[in-house]
Structures are given as C-alpha cells and as structure tokens.
Structure 1
Amino acid sequence: MSVDLTVVVPAYNEERRLGPTLAAIRAYLDEAGPEGKGGRWELIVVDDGSTDRTAQITVAAELDDPRVHLIRSDRNRGKGHALRLGVLASRGARVLITDADLATPIEELERLDKALTDGHAAAIGSRAGAEATIEARQHRLRELLGRGGNFLIRTVAVPGISDTQCGFKLFDGDCAREAFTASRLCGWGIDVEVLQYLRRSGRPIAEVPVRWAHQEGSKVRPFDYVKVLAELTLLKARTVRPADVLVAALFLTLSVTLYSGRWAAPGDRYLPDSLQDQNQWEWFFAVTADNVRHLQNPLFTTLQNFPDGVNLMANTVMLGLSVPFAPVTWLFGPALALNAAMTLGLAATAVTWYRLIVRRLVRHRGAAAAGAALAAFAPPMISHAHAHPNFMVLFMIPLITDRALRLCEGTSVVRDGVVLGLFTTYQIFLGEEPLLLAAMGMLLFAAAYGMARRDVAKAALRPLARGLGIALAVTIPLVAFPLYWQFFGPQSYTSVLHGDNAGNSPLALLSFSERSLAGDEKTASALSLNPTEQNAFYGWPLVALAFAIVVRLWERAVVKALAFTVLAAAFLSLGPKFRVPLTDVVLAGPWRPLAHMPLFESVIESRVAMVCAPALGMLVALALARLLSAPRTAFRYAGVATVALALLPIVPMPLRAVERAQVPAFIADGTWRRYVGEGESLVPVPLPDPASAEALHWQTAADLGFSLPGGYFNGPWGPDRVGIYGASPRNTSNLLRDVRSAGQAPQITKEWRAAARADLAYWKAGVLVLAPQEHDVELRVTVEELLDRPGKWVDGVWIWDLHKGS
C-alpha cells in the first residue's frame, strides 16, 4: 500500500521524551495529516542502540498502532546512521525527519508541506530570520557557540542556507531516499551532506521559518558543530582520487628537490643566486613574527632604517604567509620558516594550477599534471624561487581565476562574489604585483575568448559585472586601512625606480635560463637584470611546440584565447623600448603607454612574461590530453615524445646552496648588549644596503635585539618621495659604501668628520662594528680617521664604542 508521508524519528536513550513525542505526532497526523483524519502515513522510530527503555516505548506504540514501526541498530552509531536506516526503510511520497525532543512542533509540518507543493525537493525548518519564532532560548554562551559553528558549516559546505542543523526537515520521498543512499556520514554531519547532495544535483531547497524551543536534555552540544566540520572534511578527503594524491606528492617532491641544498641545513646554507634577497626575506619573516608575538603594528618597524623606520606594508613582507608561519619562526628560526614556506608554497601553487586545469580544461590527470608543472616550475618561477616568495608562492591565483569563471556561469553570483573578494583580499597580503599581473593575464584571456565566443561573453557579462561589484564591496573595507598605510603612512613612497632596461630582450623568450637543464649562465646573465629576474627564458623548443599546438587545435576558442594571452604578455614584457636582436634598431615597446600609470609604474615590466607560464602549461595540457586519447598508438607515442623533448631543456636544476657566512661572535654571543643602550642603534661598517645586507642576518641571529640604520627595503627618497631600494643616502653611509667598492681610503677632512658626527647623532649610534671582509683595512682606516681614534678588537670584530666619545 502506498504511503503519503513517512515520519522518521532517530532516538538514542530517549525514554523520557519519546512517549509524549510519538503521541503528539500520531494525534496531529490523524487529525491534519495527509488525506485528512486517518490518512495514509507511517511513523518510523530508529533506536540507535539505546541502553534505556526507548525500544520498549516504541514497541508499545507499535502494538497500539500498526502504522508505527521500530528499527533497531545493534549499537550506537550516530544520528546519521539512524536517519539513513529510517529514510531507506520509508515508503512515503514525502519524508519528514524530526528529532525526538520535538523542539519544532509537529504542527509546523504544514509550512514545510506548502514549500514542497510549490516545487521544492526539500523544505528545512529554520530558526534564523525575523519570521522564525524562538519560544525558549538556550544559554547565551551555548547559543553563541552554536551560531559560530553553524556559520562555519554553511560558509564551507552549503552557502546560502542559514540554518543547516535544525532537526525538522521535509523531503520529496524519492529525493530523500536517493540522497540518503548516497550519504556516507554516520554523525551529525549527515544533514549537511544530504543538503550538499541535493544542491549539487540541482534540486531546489526551501528554508522555512518555524517555531522552535530549546529542550532540556538535548543531545546536541555546541562543540558538535566542530564534529560536523571534521566529518565533512573527512568526507571530502575520501573523494580525492589516488591520482590526485600522487600528483600532489610529485609536486612536493619536485619542490623539496629544488631546495635540497638548503634543506640539508637551512640555518647554515645560503642561496648565492638570491644575492641579498635571502637575508631580506628571512628578516621579513623574523620581524613579522616578532610583531605578532608582542602584538605590535605589523605594518611598520624601526628595526631597519633607524630611526625613520620601514613601512612594511609598502614592502613585500607577505603578511598572508609570514603571519601564519610565525609559530614556525618562533620555534625554528626565520631561515627554516622561509625555506618551508617557499617549498610548500611552490608545491601548493602547482596543486592549485592542477586543480584548475582538471576542473576547467582537461580531465586526463597526467595531461593536467604536466600543464600544472609547467605553470609552477617554469624558468621564471625557478628564477624567483631563489628568494622571491611573493612571485612563486601563487596558490591563490588559480583559485581566484576559478572563482571568476564561476561568476561567469552566474549560478551563485552573491556567494562567488563574496568568496572572490575574500580570495583577493588574501592575495593582496601575499603580493600585490603578482595580483596585478594575474589580472592583466585574465583580462587578456577574457578579451580574446570574448571575441571568439561572443555568445558566451554576452551571457557572462551581467553576472560577472555584478559579482565583481560584490567582490569589491567585500575587499575594499578589509584592505582600506592597510592600503592607506602603504601609500600614505610613515615611510610610504610614490613609485619604485627600476631603470630603463627592465624589459625583456626578444632573445630572452627563446633562450634558456641559468637553472634550466640546458641553461647557460653567461647567456642568461647577458639577457636579464640578475639571477632572480630571469623572467622569460622559455626556450625555443617550447615556443615551437606552442606554435604547433595552436595551429593543430586552432578551432577551439580556448586555444585562441591562450595563444593571444601568451603573445600579448610576451610582447608587453619587452618594456617601453627594445632593441631588435642582432641590430642597433631600437623600437618603442608596448609597455610605453602603461609605464607612467599608477601601479604600473612600479612594475618590472619583464615580469609580465611570467603570465605566459600558466597559459603555456594549459596549451601543453590540451595537447597531451588529445594525444593520450588518440587511437593510433604510434602517433600517440610520437606526440608525447615530442612534448617531452620540448620540455626537457627547461627542466629545473636544484638551486645552488653554499655555506653561509658565520655571524661574528660579537653578535652571536650577545657581546653587543654591553655597547647598545635603550633607544640606540648598532651601526655596521659599511651600513647595510641592497648590495650588502649581511647585517640583517646578524640582527635575526640576535633575535632582533638591536636596531640598524640603513638596510635593504623600499623607502622614500627626496621631496617627491620616489621609491628607492635602501635608506635615503647620508654623507657617512655614502662614504663607507664608496670605500667598500673602491678599496681605497680617502683623505678625511674636518667637513667629513663633522658630517660623521651629525650622522651618528641622527642614527643614535651606540657602537660601530666592522666585521672581517674585503677592503676591511681601508674601512677601518676611514672610520678611525672619521672618529679620530682607533678601533678595538672584540670577539672577532673591530668596534668603536661611542659612549666613550666620538
């Protein structure tokens, strides 16, 4: 016999409340249930291994009314397991699940029933919203904890539903049995799992405000929300394919191999091709961790450039990475923290590119892995891997790209807009210039794809515009103050000077980088600013392969868009002017119109070629997916071999690492504390600058116990506050720098001595420190002449104690 309604009640040790609940449900259904009084309904109680009289109470009701049924579990397995047993045993055209405490009165069924009549697959009782009635509240703390947990659940799992955990839900019977058959969870999380299933299968869900009253003895505890999140996380983990895990492990192995020279002894190894950047970045991690520990302003410090300080927001401190890694920095030091962040960050970047390619481009895992590897481990990325984490830890860029594509689909514009805003906010605290370059790449791709598929562009324009507006509304309030501080706060600057030769040579696009398998240090050095800025160097075999792929797959709109993105980005990377190879002809470059625009004026234009890496990776993924699905075995093998041969020359080599210079005992043993008083600075000779920043390593080794004048950072210079690398020059810092470079001590005049006294007073210098180095004799003679007294050899360095007169 068919049944119009099944009511499922999960019960565990409910002897006190179950009897009145069953009586109330039966009375209501007989009077106002389906088909009116005496209508066709059934009531299923699932005893989840109770140890009290729950089963006996149900049996008594079953003997009194054959429409009541008892299902028993051999042991307590959780609410999810009980619900699954009850729903799968149901026969009703509609299925109501309700808790044994009847916190939502059975009379509220009428509201949910109307929602199903209107065409929804499920109607869930909601305690949220103005129309809901809360007749008896929980303890205030319990309620706050519950709301917080529910917020996390609905944000992570089912956005758009305000109350996922109310135990009063009505389903279309077939939809319910299908969803609970597909469910896997046995705990509280089954509510969310079932709602996720219905949402993903396109079934509409109505959220209906209901009356609700807290019942004493409730089995739900505030921390059960944590259990729900844990269950959902485990459920998600079970859906990960073994191939995906293997690919992630491969990317992590590649990243660890790349940094293997440092992992042998992170604190004692240095990447010489990072120039002074490793010292700078370790300092960034150390100062951020120190600010977090002491609850100080993370946007400013006077540890460098004393006493003026450094605007940290205007520098690449990567608060989105250095703050989460603060505990690692505290426990193991900034050297290991930086190495771990870069190793894991590079692997995570490859994983998110892989995820994007699998989701949006090709299903073949091997093809997607090859494309993601090229996107994350391309020569420009390896160049920045020396010590520019802001340009190689880019795991948010594929996530931002995917969320923008979701906006184009227009299915959940508000949710996707909010998430895009949060993603963008986080990326701003990882790196603003990479975000700008990524936006340029997405704009180039969108323009080309829109031209190739005008119908798609027209349909996507409205939801995309609306979603971007929502994203901006989310992002701006979150970043308003940090960006204000960056552009208008202490030690802010207008733009950074990079010189006139920061663009790529066309030859750089076809050549091999220094750390590639086929790389040549001499050629790469001639075509780049330095080893950390080899921003092209894809090699002619890959360029030829990309050309062949585009020709072969030209009919696809995505291939046209990717090809345009590669060409446009490569062309823009030539800078405001470039020389035609093998000639003296200099032409205006495509970057010229952008060169003096806000934000763009601070970009090193050769970096725009980094946009080519993911686009080339996607072209390779498309080609491999086509080849690996080809029926002709010989053609398949030849094609795959061709792709492999084109990529082989740019396979990255492990980064070179050397023994690090020892920190002088004067610093390492803490002797400096006897010479630097409160509010004073330690002045290295010469002062630290972008060319020689070893003193920053001294500072981190001393747990940031003293401040330094000078340093390696971006700061203002002159009345126009133009951005420069390092501190604003002073007479004495310039003099000592010139002696270090030329190796010759100048004739010191009384004007030099007066300038030195003024500079030392400005720096509030407690002691000058000269460590053994090239031209240290000339430096020592110069300082002795400036101060008119000899230095003192203390714990491996020459010092001049300024407390004894200058």
Structure 2
Amino acid sequence: MSGPGTGRISAAGGSTIELSVIVPAYNEEQRLGPTLDAITRYLGEPEGRWGEWEVVVADDGSTDATREIVAARRDPRIQLVTSPRNRGKGHALRLGVAASRGRRVLLTDADLAAPIEELEKLDKALSEGNAAAAGSRSVPGATIGDHQHRLRELLGRAGNLLIRWVAVPGIRDTQCGFKLFDGDKARAAFAGSRLNGWGIDVEVLQHFRRADWPVAEVPVTWSHQSGSKLRPLDYARVLGELGRLKARALRPADAFVAILFLLMATALYSGRFFDPSHRYLPDSLQDQNQWEWFFAVTADSVAHLRNPLFTDLQGFPDGVNLMANTVMLGLSVPFAPITLLFGPAIALSLCMTLGLAATAAAWYWLIVKRVVRQRAAAFLGASLAAFAPPMVSHANAHPNFVILFMIPLIIDRALRLCAGTRVVRDAVILGLMAAYQVFLGEEPLLLASIGMLLFAVAYGVLRRDVAKAAWRPLLRGLLIAAAVCLPIICYPLAWQFAGPQSYQSVLHGDNAGNSPLALLSFSERSLIAGDAERANALSLNPTEQNAFYGWPLALLAFAIVVRLWERAVVKALAFTALAAAVLSLGPKIRIPLTDTVLPGPWALLSDKPLFESVIEGRVAMVCAPALGMLLALAVERLAAIRRLGTVYAGLLAVSLALLPLIPAPLKSTARPDVPAFITDGMWKSYVRDGESLVPVPLPDPGNAEALHWQTAAHLGFKLPGGYFNGPYGDDRIGIYGASPRYTSNLLRDIRYSGKVPTIGKNWQAQAARDFAFWKAGVLVLAPQPNDTLLRQALEKLVGRPGKWTGGVWVWDLHEGS
C-alpha cells in the first residue's frame, strides 16, 4: 500500500481506491447496521460511479455490540479500527482517516442525519477545485427535515455562532458531520490535529484555512435523529478545547519575550513605578499632573454616569472639551475601577508600563507573522520599534504615543484585506479597531496611516502584480471599514470639533520640525551616549525628542538596504523610513552649519485640516518600526549564514548600532506634598456650591501642580485656569490652557518675573470682575518662588491680608460681601 502524499492509493488487487468513508462510532449497535447497509447499497449501485471504495468504522471504545456488528460483515471493503477506551469523536476520526486509502475521504456520522445520497453535492464541489466540501444546514438551499427541540436548536445555533466568530469565520455550520476531503490533504490535516473531542472539526477546518486549501460549504438535506451524541453544551466544550489548543500552541519563546518586554518597561519606569503617588517624572514637565487628572476625571464621570466628553472641573466656568484633549478614553474608562480604588497616579503608572510592554509584544507578533520567523530577530526588531529614542522621550509624558498596541494589529488587518479572502469580516474588524484607536489617540493613528501609505506606494510600485491583485479588495475593505467606524466615532468627533470649548487647530509655530542633526545624534536618555545639553538644543523639550536614532544605526540601516536590496520589502521599508525622516524636518529645512533654508515636503501638508495641528517632528516616529523590521530581516539573514567571520562582523555591527539606543531609566524626583489645607479638607469651609478654588497663580501648562491638589481632593472643587487644549479669541484658535484674563496674567508675571506693578483702583476693580467671572470662593497661595511678592499683590487686590492655615495663605472672598 502506498503512503500519504503519493496521490492515488492502490487496493490489494492493484486498483485505485477512489473513496474512503469514515464512520466514527461509540455504542452505536442500534444505528450502525442500517447505516452500513445504506452506505454500501448506495456505493455499490450498478452504475459504479464511485469506483473502488472502502468503509472504515472507527470504534471509540464502545461497550456494546458495535464492534461485533462490523466484524459480522463479510465484505472486505468494510474494515474496523478500534480504540481500547473511549477518548472522543476526534480521536476516532483521527484513527479512521489514518487508516483510509481513498483519493477522497468522506466523513459521515453513524446516524446518517445527512443521507449518503448527498455525497453527490459534495463531490461536485471538489470537482470544481475545492480541497474540501462541508455539508451545511445553514446556507441557502439546505433542507431540514425533522427538527430538534426548539430550545436545543437555539442553544446549538448560539454555540455554533461563537465557534464561527472565534475560530472558523466564513463557515456557517462547522459541526455538521458530513464532509468530503481530498484524501491526501485530509490525512495531513488529521495527522496534525491534537483534539480528541468535538472540536476536531474546527481544528481541521482551521488547518485547511492556514494552508490556503479552499473549503466549500454545500447545502444538504439534514434530519434530526434520535440518540444524537452531540448536546448543545458540547459547543461550549468545543470552545474550551480550542482555547486549550491555542494555549498549547504558544511557544515558550513567545511567552519569554512577552515577560522580557514587561521587565524592560518596568525598568524604564522604575523610578516612578514602585511609588507613583510620591514620585514624579521631571522630564514630563507638567504632563504627569495633567494625565493623572485625565484618568481621575474619566473615572469620576464613569462612577457618576456623567458625560465623559466634557467637564467644568478645570477651566471653570467655561470647562474643557475632553474629546478635544488626549484623555485616552479607550484606556482611562477600562482603568476607572483601578483609578477609583488606588488613585490616578497608580492607574497611570500601571497603564503606561503595561501599555508599553503590550506595544512591544504587538510589534513582535506582527514581525513574526509578516516579516521573519526567527524569534530572536523579531525580538530585536520589536524592541527597536517600541523602545526607540522617540518612544522613550514620549514615555515621560505622552501615553498616547507610547501605548500603540493597536497599530500593529491594524497593519495586519489591512494586509489581510489585500489578500482578498475574507474581505467583509476583515473590514468589519478593521473598522472596529480604527474606532478603538481613535479613543486611544488620533494623532498616532494619523501618523501610522502616513507610514502605511508610504509603504503601500513603494511596495505597489515595486510589485505591480501584487498591487493589481490587491487594490480592489483593499479599496472595498477600506470602504466597509469606514462604514463600520464612522457611526461609532461620528458623535464624539462632532463633539470634538463643534462641541463646547472646541477649537480650530493648535499652532506650534514654524520650527517644530527636526533638525537633520537630530536624526543622527543620541538622545538625552541614552544609557551610554546621552547628552542632555545637545539633545535639548536639537528638540522642543525633553518630551519631544522625536528623532535621535544615532549615526551608527543610520549606517547599519544603509548597509542592510544595500545587502538585501533584491528584496522588495526592504526597498519599501527603506523608502518609508527615509520619507518619514524627510517629512519630519518640517516645512522649512535648515541645512546644518549654514544659513541655507530649503522648502520641505511637509509644507504641502502643514496647512491642511488635521495636519495643521500635528507637530511635524513626530513623523520621525514612523521610522522606528520600519528600522525595526529592517533590523529583523538582517539578523535573520545573519542566522542563516555559515561563515562565522561574517556572522561575528554582522552581530558586532548590530551591537554597536543598538548599544547607544539602550535607554536609562526615566528620571524621577520626590513629589511635592499637597498642602494640608487640601488633604485635610479645610477648603470645604471656603468653597460653596457653584464656586471655585483659585490657586495663585492660576494653573497653566508651566505650573499645573494645582491639578494634583484637585485629584488629591477627589475632584471635590473646581479650578479656573488649567492645563488643557482650549479655544482662544473669536477665531477659536487652539491654545494650551484657559483663555487668559488680566488678573491671571498679572499673577503669572509676578511669579516668573519677581516684579510687582503699581496696583491701584483699576487693578482692584479688574480683579473683582475676574474673581466674579471665576465664581471664586477662596484664593490659595502655596509656598513657591516669589510667594512674598505674590502675597503683597493679593493683599492690594483684595484689600486685606490673607490668613495662614493648612500650610497656605488663603483669602476668603466671602468676607465683607
């Protein structure tokens, strides 16, 4: 007898076995005899349509007379394979298929719920080029005779729907036991199966999907038979089996990589991670206060069922359009219980650490799936994508640019659309993913879209055959994804762009692009090459060091591209990285060490909607995953080289390029204590309902410690001023902080200049108007630089001295009213 994979298999007489029928059986003495009679009678019809055939009964450890019924048959074409004990339908099918010899293999249950005559329909589907044909009760054209009990039928449908969604999308009826397979492919799929229960049907169909063997779902006639072994709750068991199968499929290396990414993220945040309530990241400037407030206000909105898109707790009385700020509702809402139980500092610290590790793991998953198979190469590539210098810079202050785990998933789903196999399903999932990413960060999604577009254009030019085959399903999928995404986000976006306290755009000046030198220099946080003075001279601030990949990595990337130039994916990745780097230079590119200024390509986008608010230097962040994938490709190629000298030289070059990029833990300092006036609740006797507490000077992007006061007081009072994006003037231009008023400007100028202007009746009258606008109940002055001068100014503005209490100076504005 020939083995699997040889095509046609011969019987003892030398003829070819055209069809093997596999019948799994467990305690089937009542039904098996009539079933075998029906099968042999049909296959033995005079026309001889099915040629040479065999029937294999796979007994699953029956305790009745099932085996004796088969043994009593004198037909050599009917054979019996047995299991010493009952192990499940999956085990029986595996035994039966392994014993089969046919060019095609039919699986049918012992109850013949689908009549054997339906084989003709399945055979026709295989003749049309499919590798398998699954009989179905759920597609148009199917006929159902005797129904199950209504409740049983509903439970079965619900279970089948879950299986389809989780495991085998596209096949409506996975559990119908009537299936015809190409024989060799069936033997390969069942030999590779692991499940012993009902889940083997799904496992084998998954195998066919992964191998790109087409599967047709064919409508059949089906009738419920009494004594069925499949119960509605068995669908839950199928899901459990599939879950365990996936868990076993997880490679130890993958689990180790995930743990390693978590340790790397924890090490980066170690200065704050272990005591976030009392430690502060000074390089976050005031962003840590702002983000903790975002988490706190979201949790408060969830707990009290308030609108999470708006609040007047900050920027009082006008309020803050939260959707127009980066509150990351996609995470701050799920983290609301942690925020309420343990405080916003712990919630933010945990979220950023886990989010960074999850982002690295997502890039690793994408690189393993789409770029390289070697795990070590994928680990290095993902580490660069997630822990590159720009990401570490933003890790100080901007969770929305650190927690990017959805971006690799979105890229993968877009690539699936290009394949055109399951366009509708993949498009729906892509639409849901994009909608969720909007609530994680719109600007990162925009930058990722730029990167994907650059890659798609380059790859499409290089591989016109691929582009020709992919553009139609991709376009169709993108339209479906948009139709799914837009209804979800249209109301939040309408609130963002037209709701209360919305604004037109945030202007960042004309110097927000990177210097060419920044792309080749080392970042401030480099463990071995950090130069804070040079890095800050080449960037907007420590949170916006958006390049700093270093010249060794640039040289290595150039060498990789030259060495692997024959690969289209390498050329496309190189174009993506180079184009993103050039775009990040901004609308005007100043040539280093000269006065020459050239127009940059970003000028074409800088005044367009959405792009006008982007800090163009951030486009260089697109380079991180592109360079990471190039690195992964190079390391995988090195692993395949036999010449040790070449391997050592290549690994040395990789090490020299990556060592300067290893980040030191983020700097942390002791956090200023919140005054007892706040923590002990003394403020409550000064602030009435509808009033605000006014810190002096008012909180702004330069000093937002009052937001920490507010979160420490569980958002018990409202604040004028603040740190957020809001409108200014009749044109509603976006600015950082609340629209300034005369008194807020006066107090801020005294704080930073140390000079007190002459304060007369005009200033006093203006202050009274501003206090009334803010509905101020109390002014609070904490110890700070120039606090003596501020106290003198307040005494003149209010007309009386303040009171020292709870570690602060206070002016009760109700006195004398």
> Is 2:244 the counterpart of 1:234?
yes
C-alpha contact (below 8 Å) 1:55/1:70 kept by paired residues: no
Tell me how large the CA RMSD over aligned residues is: 3.1
1:254 corresponds in structure 2 to 264
2:738 corresponds in structure 1 to 727
> Is 2:207 the counterpart of 1:197?
yes
2:64 corresponds in structure 1 to 56
Structure 1, 703-712 or 311-320: larger mean CA deviation: 703-712
Structure 1, 754-763 or 110-119: larger mean CA deviation: 110-119
Aligned-partner Cα distance in 1 for 2:231–2:807? 63
Determine which of 635, 641, 649 is the counterpart of 2:660. Answer: 649
2:5 corresponds in structure 1 to none
Q: CA deviation at 1:601?
A: 0.2
2:386 corresponds in structure 1 to 376
> Is 2:324 the counterpart of 1:314?
yes
SS in structure 2 of the partner of residue 613 of structure 1: helix
> Is 2:632 the counterpart of 1:621?
yes
1:559 corresponds in structure 2 to 570
Aligned-partner Cα distance in 2 for 1:565–1:266? 38
Determine which of 494, 497, 500 is the counterpart of 2:504. Answer: 494
User: Structure 2 vs 1, CA of residues 177 and 690 (structure 1 numbering), >3 Å: closer, same or farther?
Assistant: same
C-alpha contact (below 8 Å) 1:688/1:694 kept by paired residues: yes
Aligned-partner Cα distance in 2 for 1:226–1:319? 33
Q: CA deviation at 1:59?
A: 4.8
User: Structure 2 vs 1, CA of residues 240 and 213 (structure 1 numbering), >3 Å: closer, same or farther?
Assistant: same
User: Structure 2 vs 1, CA of residues 198 and 552 (structure 1 numbering), >3 Å: closer, same or farther?
Assistant: closer
1:520 corresponds in structure 2 to 531
Q: CA deviation at 1:695?
A: 1.8
Deviations 1:367-414 (A, max 9, x none): 332222222111111100112111122222222223333333334433
Aligned-partner Cα distance in 2 for 1:498–1:463? 39
2:395 corresponds in structure 1 to 385
> Is 2:404 the counterpart of 1:394?
yes
C-alpha contact (below 8 Å) 2:755/2:789 kept by paired residues: yes
Structure 1, 397-406 or 89-98: larger mean CA deviation: 89-98
C-alpha contact (below 8 Å) 2:389/2:523 kept by paired residues: yes
User: Structure 2 vs 1, CA of residues 358 and 783 (structure 1 numbering), >3 Å: closer, same or farther?
Assistant: same
1:51 corresponds in structure 2 to none
Determine which of 272, 285, 306 is the counterpart of 1:275. Answer: 285
C-alpha contact (below 8 Å) 1:743/1:778 kept by paired residues: yes
> Is 2:23 the counterpart of 1:8?
yes
> Is 2:697 the counterpart of 1:689?
no
Aligned-partner Cα distance in 2 for 1:684–1:135? 78
The one-letter amino acid paired with 1:647 is L
Aligned-partner Cα distance in 1 for 2:524–2:799? 48
Deviations 1:493-514 (A, max 9, x none): 1111112221111221121111
1:360 corresponds in structure 2 to 370
C-alpha contact (below 8 Å) 2:581/2:619 kept by paired residues: yes
Q: CA deviation at 1:536?
A: 0.9
Determine which of 579, 584, 592 is the counterpart of 1:573. Answer: 584
C-alpha contact (below 8 Å) 1:580/1:586 kept by paired residues: yes
1:756 corresponds in structure 2 to 767
Structure 1, 268-277 or 726-735: larger mean CA deviation: 726-735
Aligned-partner Cα distance in 2 for 1:559–1:190? 40
Q: CA deviation at 1:86?
A: 4.2
The 5 A counterparts of 1:392-431 are 392-431=402-441
C-alpha contact (below 8 Å) 2:22/2:93 kept by paired residues: no
The one-letter amino acid paired with 1:6 is V
Structure 1, 307-316 or 171-180: larger mean CA deviation: 171-180
The 5 A counterparts of 1:293-372 are 293-372=303-382
> Is 2:487 the counterpart of 1:477?
yes
Aligned-partner Cα distance in 2 for 1:436–1:554? 29
C-alpha contact (below 8 Å) 1:47/1:55 kept by paired residues: no
Determine which of 32, 36, 42 is the counterpart of 2:55. Answer: 42
The one-letter amino acid paired with 2:274 is A
The one-letter amino acid paired with 1:716 is P
C-alpha contact (below 8 Å) 2:167/2:202 kept by paired residues: yes
Q: CA deviation at 1:183?
A: 0.7
Structure 1, 298-307 or 432-441: larger mean CA deviation: 298-307
Structure 1, 262-271 or 36-45: larger mean CA deviation: 36-45
Q: CA deviation at 1:43?
A: 6.4
The one-letter amino acid paired with 2:23 is V
User: Structure 2 vs 1, CA of residues 6 and 293 (structure 1 numbering), >3 Å: closer, same or farther?
Assistant: farther
Point out where structure 1 has 5 or more consecutive residues left out of the alignment: 49-53
C-alpha contact (below 8 Å) 1:4/1:34 kept by paired residues: no
User: Structure 2 vs 1, CA of residues 678 and 132 (structure 1 numbering), >3 Å: closer, same or farther?
Assistant: farther
SS in structure 1 of the partner of residue 601 of structure 2: coil
User: Structure 2 vs 1, CA of residues 548 and 77 (structure 1 numbering), >3 Å: closer, same or farther?
Assistant: same
2:6 corresponds in structure 1 to none
Q: CA deviation at 1:194?
A: 0.9
Structure 1, 769-778 or 530-539: larger mean CA deviation: 769-778
Structure 1, 267-276 or 139-148: larger mean CA deviation: 139-148
C-alpha contact (below 8 Å) 2:142/2:219 kept by paired residues: yes
Q: CA deviation at 1:105?
A: 6.2
Deviations 1:490-544 (A, max 9, x none): 2221111112221111221121111013111111111111100000111222222
Determine which of 483, 503, 507 is the counterpart of 2:517. Answer: 507
Q: CA deviation at 1:300?
A: 2.2
User: Structure 2 vs 1, CA of residues 547 and 200 (structure 1 numbering), >3 Å: closer, same or farther?
Assistant: closer
User: Structure 2 vs 1, CA of residues 71 and 561 (structure 1 numbering), >3 Å: closer, same or farther?
Assistant: closer
SS in structure 2 of the partner of residue 683 of structure 1: strand
C-alpha contact (below 8 Å) 2:355/2:405 kept by paired residues: yes
SS in structure 2 of the partner of residue 229 of structure 1: helix
C-alpha contact (below 8 Å) 2:60/2:87 kept by paired residues: no
Determine which of 454, 462, 466 is the counterpart of 1:444. Answer: 454
Determine which of 698, 705, 729 is the counterpart of 2:716. Answer: 705
Aligned-partner Cα distance in 2 for 1:36–1:777? 111
Aligned-partner Cα distance in 2 for 1:744–1:127? 84
**Number of residue-to-residue matches in the alignment:** 796
SS in structure 2 of the partner of residue 761 of structure 1: helix
Aligned-partner Cα distance in 2 for 1:315–1:145? 45
C-alpha contact (below 8 Å) 2:389/2:549 kept by paired residues: yes
2:219 corresponds in structure 1 to 209
SS in structure 1 of the partner of residue 702 of structure 2: coil
User: Structure 2 vs 1, CA of residues 720 and 138 (structure 1 numbering), >3 Å: closer, same or farther?
Assistant: farther
Point out where structure 2 has 5 or more consecutive residues left out of the alignment: 1-10, 12-16
SS in structure 2 of the partner of residue 430 of structure 1: coil
User: Structure 2 vs 1, CA of residues 4 and 101 (structure 1 numbering), >3 Å: closer, same or farther?
Assistant: closer
User: Structure 2 vs 1, CA of residues 149 and 744 (structure 1 numbering), >3 Å: closer, same or farther?
Assistant: farther
Aligned-partner Cα distance in 1 for 2:720–2:156? 51
Determine which of 123, 130, 143 is the counterpart of 1:120. Answer: 130
User: Structure 2 vs 1, CA of residues 126 and 613 (structure 1 numbering), >3 Å: closer, same or farther?
Assistant: same
SS in structure 2 of the partner of residue 193 of structure 1: helix
Aligned-partner Cα distance in 2 for 1:245–1:450? 35
User: Structure 2 vs 1, CA of residues 59 and 75 (structure 1 numbering), >3 Å: closer, same or farther?
Assistant: closer
Aligned-partner Cα distance in 1 for 2:162–2:525? 44
> Is 2:306 the counterpart of 1:291?
no
SS in structure 2 of the partner of residue 56 of structure 1: coil
C-alpha contact (below 8 Å) 2:159/2:235 kept by paired residues: yes
Q: CA deviation at 1:654?
A: 0.7
User: Structure 2 vs 1, CA of residues 288 and 73 (structure 1 numbering), >3 Å: closer, same or farther?
Assistant: farther
Deviations 1:562-587 (A, max 9, x none): 33222222221111223322223333
User: Structure 2 vs 1, CA of residues 581 and 3 (structure 1 numbering), >3 Å: closer, same or farther?
Assistant: closer
SS in structure 1 of the partner of residue 277 of structure 2: helix
Aligned-partner Cα distance in 1 for 2:613–2:160? 44
